[in-house]
Structure 1
Amino acid sequence: TRHDLNKPEHAALGNRLYGGDDSTRLRQEYLLGVGGIRVLKAIGEWPLKGLHLNEGHCTFAALEMISQGWTLAELSRRTLFTTHTPVPAGHDRFAWEDVEDVIGNLLPENVRTIDGCQESCSMSHLAIALAGQVNAVSNLNAWVASTMFEGTHIEPITNGVHHLTWTTPPMKEIFDEYLHGWRNDPAILAHAGKIPDAALISARQQARAVLRDLVHVSTGVELHEDRLTIGFARRFATYKRANLVFSDLERLRKIGTHKIQFVFAGKAHSRDEGGKQLIRDIFAGAEQVSDEIPVAFLEDYSMATGLAMTGGVDIWLNNPVRPMEASGTSGMKAAMNGVPNFSILDGWWPEACEHGVNGWAIGKAEDDRDDQRDVDSLYSVLENEILQAWSVGEERWAHLMRAAIATSARFTGARMISDYVRFYELFSHDEPE
């Protein structure tokens, strides 16, 4: 936006992704949607065969395609809309007067009669009305989204992760040796049972050492090689309950003194005061148990940090309020590196969890928020199942790691793209007579 001919207020639109008022956000979404389509045309990527809208933020792209010559019927036939979150804040709403001021004659007739758009412009409802196909990013998320957008069929396409990006170097080496062809076909990870204990344990020890070094250099916290390392790294939204494990410090000490250690990482939205408080709570809890249970917080939550954590911890903890987690790709990355998940049955985990085999569930898939119930389950499973398995030794843990890796074969980016291709192929079909 910093073109010499732009007014100062327009030049500043690209300064910050999350910030500003509705006026700024609306104009940013105009740039993303309308501007994005016009850029594609300007660089010669034209004509477009179809349109895939991820969340409502880019909905104006659909309106621009009408301006470029698509009919409403053609737009419907060639557009897929993906909804990612049940969190209301993730679905932008703007006053109609402001929308009309920005996009003017791009609005179709009777737009204010669309379900969910009568009082204000809901970008997600508008996208669903324009798109012919709608999907969500896990089976559970599709069910939740169907209650948000009544009368709309929502197809589940569970997210996946790029296997080459999110596998640590030591794990890549053993996959190369024992799972030939996995780089081109990550479905081969399903045969992780071929990996011998010694090779798997050696690779995991290397990845764990990398994380211990990173934590020490970054925070000064000394992690112990013989203790179970529990990782938690994600955006610090309040529904994710990052501080849940510190709910009862005396019980946590009783369970985990000199047995467990934690590594946290993540960031809160700049305007999410609740998320910022979660981070403060973690530091407060860490200070109170640090003599018995080391707790580190990695502030630089970059992709490199994410890889070091998902590859270097022993357990991946996730305890959101069900069903608020749309998918949860960090857990997929952990599983791919042989790290079992320990999670509320939310997002992708209901599709993947084999309790005690490839990880553990917290609770019994309850949909109401009850922090006490969930932390009781968390402590109980940690004490009576996870630490018991850890104490048995490396052979028992290797079985868990292989099962986690095999599970990850169903949650790769390659599988996800193949699912989306089924929709993309419909874009080029001739309109039925």
Structure 2
Amino acid sequence: MKEPNRINGTISKFATWYHPYNPATEFKKRTAYFSMEFAVHQGLKTYSGGLGFLAGSHMRSAYELKQNLIGIGMLWKYGYYDQGRKKDRTLETRFIEKHYSFLEDSGLEVEVRIHDNPSVKVRAYVLKPNVFGSAPIYFLTTDVEGNDYLSRTITDYLYDANEETRVAQSIILGIGGAKIVEALGGADVYHLNEGHGLPAFYYLRDKGLEVHKAFTTHTPEKGGNEERNGYHLNDFGFFGRRLSNEELQRELTNGDNLNYTVAALRLAKKANAVSKLHAEVSKRMWENFEGTDKIIPITNAQHQGFWQDRKIKNAWKRKDTNAFRRRKRELKTKLFEEVLYQTGKVFDPNILTMVWARRFAGYKRADLLLQDAERFEKLITNDEYPIQIIWAGKPYPKDFDAIEIFNRLVFRTEQVSNLAVLTGYEIELSRQLKAGSDVWLNTPRITREASGTSGMTAAMNGSVNLSINDGWMPEFAKNGKNCFVLPEIDHALPVEEQDRLDRAHLYEVLEQKVLPAFYETPNEWQKIVFNAMDDVVPDFGSERMARQYYKELY
């Protein structure tokens, strides 16, 4: 074991590869898991959405299974952003400095080159396993004494809008993270959760280290697969050293550009997509690039113990319908207190409550129902089958199209007593929405949702999925038995036609199946609820996923 670096003359035991247990034999490979986001607790704002929720659940299950795994992440000074409202109730992005007394200085500090600065300092703070019940996670920061002002700001904002800062963040996570792992004594497996940490693979290759490189690709969206000019990256220090023109030409994937996903697939020994359908879509996406055909499916999952309400779980285990309904009413009432607090509206726990909540992005179509104004008005004023609808989610702060959708929903719902748009969509609000809803609505354009893990934790809490048959749904769905699935359409159709067909199907399923089942046949509805809970656990619990990563990817 290498002697750890010293900071101020002190050494933390977390400056060595440490777990509070002897790793289980089947999970003994030393594995370093690199991710730009980790959602481990509401009080640690190092995530924006699904990528972080996945990584957080993975770290919890790794700890419980006694896996020899650590996380490598970024300590974002201002987090992603805090979501609030302007005076007219539209979205406001707030950037508030974060402080975490529970993180411990690991005693590790390394240096990396960023553009013309050869010695940007990177320090690692550790989230100890006993704090939130996760594998150790080392969070990297450049807000370090001795760095110049520009260097100190690299780790300010998750997914910084400045392109050069984004490149620098990848270098910090990738090369800085690899050097921190090296200072910890190295790892057998280096796993990149998405392509943000790609420089790690170049650093490891250049060092000639005989290690196993694994890669997870998450999104079929072009915008989620970063691509930048290779010559600019070379100048910036992305490859760990300056490549010759001949060497650089071998790395380029698209003219003068480097696609992070393609490069990671080529450099990795093994790679996975995050659902079976996503694996098929990913293979088609990259089939024209040599060396990218190694993608296997390992479907995303979420941590049951963290996300599932205990009383809901107990009622489900006993198949106690009365206990379940009592607890669901309590959870709806708690959620409706948040609705009242934010919007001044009093929701009724006896009324079917449908929630659309996830990252706001155009292809996810938060406003799909509203695109038929006449039919929407009929839906929300139906006295026979009343409905309450809640929307929540964070648009990327510079995605002005998504922000416009969010704001349009605010204006459309403001004067309607049974509609609400909530802000502050983070772990705790997500938990309340899943536990307090009856129906979980998922409306992406088909083939464009890699997984969609929110529906898993909703099902764990007795919220019935109403969804496009995309992402994880084809592996779970028994239409009418454990969820409601819209008829599939041709993903090659123009998006306007896709939206028209899906909107018509959504109204048809809501009006003819979901609402009548909830109000007219409550016992049959309860069977659907319990069937979904039976089917989502354990197949879509993160223990299965963490085991599968070791068995199939590592």
**What corresponds to 2:452 in structure 1?**
328
C-alpha separation in 1, matches of 2:374 and 2:150: 54
Return the offset for 1:88. 1.0
State whether structure 2 residue 387 is matched by structure 1 residue 260: yes
C-alpha separation in 1, matches of 2:549 and 2:346: 44
Return the offset for 1:97. 2.1
C-alpha separation in 2, matches of 1:271 and 1:417: 34
**What corresponds to 2:81 in structure 1?**
none
State whether structure 2 residue 227 is matched by structure 1 residue 98: no
| Number of residue pairs matched by the alignment | 398
Return 120-129 or 28-37, whichever deviates more: 120-129
C-alpha separation in 2, matches of 1:261 and 1:347: 26
**What corresponds to 1:14 in structure 2?**
155
**What corresponds to 1:371 in structure 2?**
499
Contact 1:362 1:381 in 2 (8 A): yes
TM-score, length of structure 1 as denominator length: 0.87
Contact 1:170 1:206 in 2 (8 A): no
- Given residue 127 of structure 1, which amino acid in structure 2 is its aligned partner? A
**What corresponds to 1:276 in structure 2?**
403
- Relative distance call for 1:365 and 1:167 in structure 2 (3 A) is farther
C-alpha separation in 2, matches of 1:267 and 1:110: 41
Contact 1:161 1:333 in 2 (8 A): yes
- Given residue 442 of structure 2, which amino acid in structure 1 is its aligned partner? N
- SS where residue 398 of structure 2 aligns? coil
Which runs of 5 or more residues in structure 2 are unaligned? 1-141
Return the offset for 1:163. 0.6
Return the offset for 1:242. 0.2
More helix by share: 1
Percent identity for Structure 1 against Structure 2: 32
Residue correspondence of structure 1 range 416-431 to structure 2 within 5 A: 416-425=545-554
State whether structure 2 residue 213 is matched by structure 1 residue 79: yes
**Residues 334-375 of structure 1: CA deviation (Å, up to 9, x unaligned):** 011111100111111111111111111123243133111111
Correspondent of 1:196 among 311, 320, 325: 320
Return the offset for 1:235. 0.6
Return the offset for 1:117. 4.2
- SS where residue 13 of structure 1 aligns? coil
Aligned-residue CA RMSD (Å): 1.9
- Given residue 403 of structure 1, which amino acid in structure 2 is its aligned partner? N
- SS where residue 306 of structure 2 aligns? coil
Return the offset for 1:56. 1.1
State whether structure 2 residue 470 is matched by structure 1 residue 343: no
C-alpha separation in 1, matches of 2:154 and 2:524: 54
- Given residue 391 of structure 2, which amino acid in structure 1 is its aligned partner? F
**What corresponds to 1:148 in structure 2?**
285
- SS where residue 377 of structure 1 aligns? helix
C-alpha separation in 2, matches of 1:131 and 1:91: 16
C-alpha separation in 1, matches of 2:508 and 2:449: 23
- Relative distance call for 1:314 and 1:300 in structure 2 (3 A) is same
- SS where residue 80 of structure 1 aligns? strand
- SS where residue 357 of structure 1 aligns? coil
C-alpha separation in 2, matches of 1:206 and 1:170: 10
C-alpha separation in 2, matches of 1:138 and 1:171: 27
TM-score, length of structure 2 as denominator length: 0.69
Correspondent of 2:200 among 42, 46, 61: 61
- Given residue 241 of structure 2, which amino acid in structure 1 is its aligned partner? N
- Relative distance call for 1:115 and 1:141 in structure 2 (3 A) is farther
C-alpha separation in 1, matches of 2:543 and 2:366: 30
State whether structure 2 residue 337 is matched by structure 1 residue 213: yes
State whether structure 2 residue 370 is matched by structure 1 residue 246: yes
**Residues 99-153 of structure 1: CA deviation (Å, up to 9, x unaligned):** 1112252659644335724421211111111111111001111111101211513
Contact 2:214 2:268 in 1 (8 A): yes
More strand by share: 2
C-alpha separation in 2, matches of 1:4 and 1:27: 18
**What corresponds to 1:185 in structure 2?**
none
C-alpha separation in 2, matches of 1:53 and 1:131: 9
**What corresponds to 1:159 in structure 2?**
300
C-alpha separation in 2, matches of 1:280 and 1:98: 37
Return the offset for 1:270. 1.2
- SS where residue 154 of structure 2 aligns? helix
State whether structure 2 residue 148 is matched by structure 1 residue 24: no
**What corresponds to 2:260 in structure 1?**
123
**What corresponds to 1:401 in structure 2?**
529
- Given residue 276 of structure 2, which amino acid in structure 1 is its aligned partner? N
- Given residue 51 of structure 1, which amino acid in structure 2 is its aligned partner? Y
C-alpha separation in 2, matches of 1:5 and 1:287: 50
Correspondent of 1:414 among 539, 543, 552: 543
**What corresponds to 1:186 in structure 2?**
none
Contact 2:225 2:260 in 1 (8 A): yes
Which runs of 5 or more residues in structure 1 are unaligned? 179-193, 426-433
C-alpha separation in 1, matches of 2:324 and 2:243: 57
Contact 2:252 2:258 in 1 (8 A): no
**Residues 318-348 of structure 1: CA deviation (Å, up to 9, x unaligned):** 1011111110010001011111100111111
